[in-house]
A and B are shown apart, each in its own frame.
Chain A
């Protein structure tokens, strides 16, 4: 069964460094998302992406964050200058445009980001 994949599974970085989290959405899905979950807290929406542009973003998604679909298969989240409070599990999700349940979002296993 097709699934969303994410790499790396765990990333450790120093405060102030740039990180890029990678995702491969399910083939033929057209909407892509990033969410984050700080340890012990709710899953929070960051950004949605469709047709090579951001369609919606939350107040968390400030200028330190950017997303890109560089090659038609990967979907990336870049954090330019990481802060301690960016430590979280980051989930990628994708959604088909048309299907019996076209609104359903499918999530990847997550990347645990630790900022030291």
Chain B
């Protein structure tokens, strides 16, 4: 059974810092890995999708990498802004996604 773990559980940093969020999964036979953002009481906003044949994806200040052999993905956020404050979720799977508990990120102005 696939298990997804995200570290750290919470992170608070000053505005402008570059930061890395980590995601690990137990079964490396994954189809896709998707990073989401969740604001309090809101739905999930898709940030990046990495398909199993890919190593990384970039969108603006976000870069996500995937290392299937080690069962890890990282989400890199450059030049963080207060508006980046949210919970970031990692999910793996084909149709039924398996989610981690997320990293609660606070960017201090």
Contact = CB atoms under 8 A, between A and B. Distances in A.
B64 to A, nearest CB: 13
A75 interface: no
A43 B99 contact: yes
Interface string B77-109: 000000000000101011111111110000000
Contacts, number: 56
A54 to B, nearest CB: 11
14 contacts: A31-B95, A41-B101, A42-B100, A44-B99, A45-B96, A45-B97, A55-B95, A101-B49, A101-B51, A103-B34, A104-B32, A104-B46, A107-B44, A107-B46
Contacts of A56: 95-96
Interface of B: 31-32, 34, 36, 41-46, 49, 51, 89, 91, 93-102
A110 B43 contact: yes
A58 B32 CA distance: 18
A91 B100 contact: no
Interface of B is mostly: strand
Interface in A72-98: 91, 93, 95
Interface string A21-63: 0000000000101010000011111001000000110100000
Given A109-B43, A110-B42, A110-B43, A43 B91 contact: yes
